[in-house]
Each structure stands twice: as C-alpha cells, then as structure tokens.
Amino acid sequence: MKQFQPSDAIKRLPEQFFAKLAGKVNRYVEAGYDIINLGQGNPDQPTPRHVIDALQAAAEKPAYHKYPPFRGQPFLKKAASEFYKREFGVDLDPETEVAVLFGGKAGLVEVSQCLLNKGDVALVPDPGYPDYWSGVAMAEADMHMMPLLEQNDFLPDYEAIPEELLSKAKLMFLNYPNNPTAAQATEAFFNETVSFANDQDLCVVHDFAYGAIGFDGERPRSFLETKGAKEVGIEIYTLSKTYNMAGWRVGFAVGNPSVVESINILQDHFYVSLFSAVQEAAAEALLGSQECVDELRATYESRRNVLINGLHDIGWDVTSPSGSFFAWLKVPDRFTSEQFADFLLDNVQIVVAPGNGFGEHGEGYVRVGLLTSEDRLKEAVERIKSLNLF
C-alpha cells in the first residue's frame, strides 16, 4: 500500500501519553483480571432522563434533519447565556459572546489556531490537560510551561515567568477546578490574572470543564465573574461533566467577542454545526431541572469521602480534593509516578494516571478518578492496604 506522508502540522502533534497506558491496561483486561480503572476522566453515570427524552423528541423533527444554522441554533446560545446568568451572575450577549462547540476539547484546540502565529508563546499550566499542547503545536507556536506547585496551592506564579518570554506571550491557558491537581482558583488569583493579562496584553482561556463540581458547599467560581475578565479572555464550558454528556460532544466558548468571532470564523470552515436535536437537548440540560447536577455533586463528594478516609485509615497522607472528580496523590518516596502506577497495575490491578503524563511538574503524583462506585473505591483501598506500603 502506498504510504502518504503526513503534513508537518500532523508530525508536530505531541504523542498521546495516555494511549500507551491504555495499551498496558488492555493486556490485563484481555487476560481476564478484575481491573479497577481509576485512571480515566470518563463520567460513569448516564445522561439525565429528561435530556435523553428531549433528544428523542427532537430527533423526530424533520426541520432538524436539514443542515443546522452556521454558528449554532440561536436557542442554544440563548440557553448558554441564561445558564451563565443563573449560575454565575454573568451577562453574555448570546449572538456575539457565545460560540457553540463540539465539546470543550475542540474549542481548546481551535483557540490556538485563532490567536497564535508561528513563534508566539502560549503560557500553559504544568501539570495540565494535554490537549492545550496540541493546538499550540498545530499553530507552530511555542509553549512556556507554568509550574503548578503544591506550595502555591497549584496556582501559577506569574512573577516567575521570564521577561523575554512574556513579550512573546499571546495566550494563557488556565483550568480551575483543575485537572489533574483538583485545585481551585480564588477570587484574588483571578483578579491578579486580569491585571496580568492586561499588563501583558495576552488572552486568557479559562477551561471550566469542572465548573459544576465543588464540594463542602463551595461553588467553583467562573473566571468571567471577575471584574474585567471579558476584556481579557474567554471561558470554555462543556456539558460533558456537569450533565454526564461526554459522548454527546457539546460545549461553548463564552466571553470576549473578538475571540468568539475568530472561533466562529474557523468553525465556519470546518463544520456547519452540531445536529440540531443535540442542540435542543443541550438547551434542555442547561435550562431544565438542575436536581441531577445536585445529585451528581453529592455522588462525587460521597465517593471522595470514601476514598480519602480509606486512604488516611491505611496511613497514606493524601490531600482531600475540594472540587473536580479527581484526587491528586503524592506517591511514596521510593517510586516515580510511572513506577508507582505500574506497581499498582502489576500487583493489585488498579489503574491510576501517572502525574508525569500531565507535564514535568506532575512527577511525584498520580491522578485518581472518582468515577466508580463507593464499593469499588473501598475495594481499591483494601487492595492498596494489602501492599503494606504505608
């Protein structure tokens, strides 16, 4: 078979670190082991019934079998705007400040194409969600990794960024509640971020994928709640986690109208828009009963308690997450992240994500997902206890 060479843009894309992990896990699954997979970020609960019903009814509408309008259905953009007003008190113009996305991932990769040229710099959190790297690589821009350190509550230190890089920086990715560290942003930090972005003339892209998941009565804050935030950036919201809709591929970018316009222009060339029935169901998720979100939050909080209390009981000194559905656990001193992840997989068939897969400063940690039942989390704790590590 003739082999066509991929373009330089494809060659520049970073290797998918977690694909390698999936390969290792599959070998154990095929060999019939009882694996407890805490390594992924895939919500385990079904989409709420009323959202599925909305999709089924909407799928019957012949008007929706035609091309949807470019840039999404006006009713979905209006729903996103009403959702932001209700949840965060943020005003958004549905037509100029909301772009409909095929999931958050698409927007996060697209925004680099929209704002970066060859040689520009993007400021990227380390550890961080690897999809930020992909768009930057496609745009032939450079990355400066901002360490997220435990002693700084996993917030970046803007003063530590070298001056010569700052002058080239056009874009900065942030993500709170954070994947993988589970850290939260404070009001003071977002205020500092707005000043920094203004001073440096860069665009902030706040990835708010876990915006609905805060524990102990604390609600995660939207970057757009910060005074002046819309002047300097956008926020990417997804329905994947809030409504267990990861398979539906729907999200939106909100905020600065010039960035929203660039995303829309790029998408005019790639797509038309999402299936209108999906858009109608998404609007139902955003505007219908939010009881399902309260229940989901309570489920994750209760799982968090089971896991963290269990690990404390066996002597592992871990930090309890206050949001997201991850726990970020320090590995015992004698292991690297990858060695520890392999050790758990090989000896007790528990899968965790090694922290170094999220960047150099993820070394020394593993990420554990709260995406299985309390019984399975208890079983995981029992298996770890049997290793007598602590």
Ligand X SMILES: Cc1ncc(COP(=O)(O)O)c(C=O)c1O
State whether residue 234 is helix, strand or coil: strand
Residue 132 or 158 with smaller CB distance to ligand X: 132
Q: How far is the CB of 132 from ligand X (least distance, A)?
A: 9
> How many whole angstroms from its chain centre is CA 158?
22
Decide if 338 contacts 356 (C-beta within 8 A).
yes
Residue 104 or 323 with smaller CB distance to ligand X: 104
Q: How far is the CB of 54 from ligand X (least distance, A)?
A: 19
Q: How far is the CB of 100 from ligand X (least distance, A)?
A: 12
User: For residue 315, is it left (φ>0), alpha (ψ between -120 and 50) or beta?
Assistant: left
Residues in the site for ligand X, rule: CB under 6 A? 41, 103-105, 129, 175, 179, 207, 209, 238, 240, 246, 251
Q: How far is the CB of 368 from ligand X (least distance, A)?
A: 14
Residue 89 or 247 with smaller CB distance to ligand X: 247
Radius of gyration (Cα) for the chain, nearest Å? 21
- Whole-angstrom CA distances from 313 to 107, 136, 356, 381, 382 are 42, 43, 27, 9, 10
Q: In 3D, which of 389, 388, 376 has the Cα closest to residue 37?
A: 376
CA 102-106-112 angle, to 5 degrees, is: 145
Residue 179 or 279 with smaller CB distance to ligand X: 179
Handedness of CA 43, 111, 279, 90 (dihedral sign): positive
Q: How far is the CB of 317 from ligand X (least distance, A)?
A: 26
Handedness of CA 222, 223, 228, 232 (dihedral sign): negative
Amino acid at the residue 327 = A
Residue 112 or 349 with smaller CB distance to ligand X: 112
Q: How far is the CB of 163 from ligand X (least distance, A)?
A: 29
Helix ranges, the chain (H)? 8-12, 17-30, 49-59, 74-88, 104-115, 131-138, 163-166, 187-200, 229-232, 239-242, 257-270, 276-287, 291-313, 337-348, 374-385
Start-to-end CA span in the chain (Å)? 55
Residue 173 or 343 with smaller CB distance to ligand X: 173
Q: How far is the CB of 41 from ligand X (least distance, A)?
A: 4
Q: How far is the CB of 255 from ligand X (least distance, A)?
A: 16
Residue 68 or 103 with smaller CB distance to ligand X: 103
Residue 196 or 210 with smaller CB distance to ligand X: 210
Decide if 136 contacts 157 (C-beta within 8 A).
no
Q: In 3D, which of 374, 362, 303 has the Cα closest to residue 329?
A: 362
